[in-house]
Amino acid sequence: MNLVELTEYLVKNIVQDQESVTVSKNKEDESIIDVIVAEDDLGAVIGRSGKVANAIRTLVQAAAYTNNQGRVRINIDAKK
């Protein structure tokens, strides 16, 4: 499982509207993973004080280090 698939799996299991989740690598910087969710689900993905988002970032970063892929950043945003 690559990092994009791992991120998508984690996010889809948190949100209510799984169909609206889009996870992809950033076109300009390969070390950034962009996560787009429905506006109603943004709070659930970020969590209180950003704790859920930080947990997702920690898990993906651990997987990246395990696979010798270096540092990875995750951007979370809502669909417009």
CB-based contact 35:7 (threshold 8 Å): yes
CB-based contact 38:46 (threshold 8 Å): no
| Alpha-carbon torsion angle 25, 37, 44, 65, nearest 10 | -10
H/E element, 22:
strand 22-25
Domains of the chain: 3-78 (3.30.300.20)
pTM of the model: 0.92
Residue 62: pLDDT band (50, 70, 90) is very high
**Per-residue pLDDT tens over the stretch 6-54:** 999 999 999 999 999 999 999 999 899 999 999 999 999 999 999 999 9
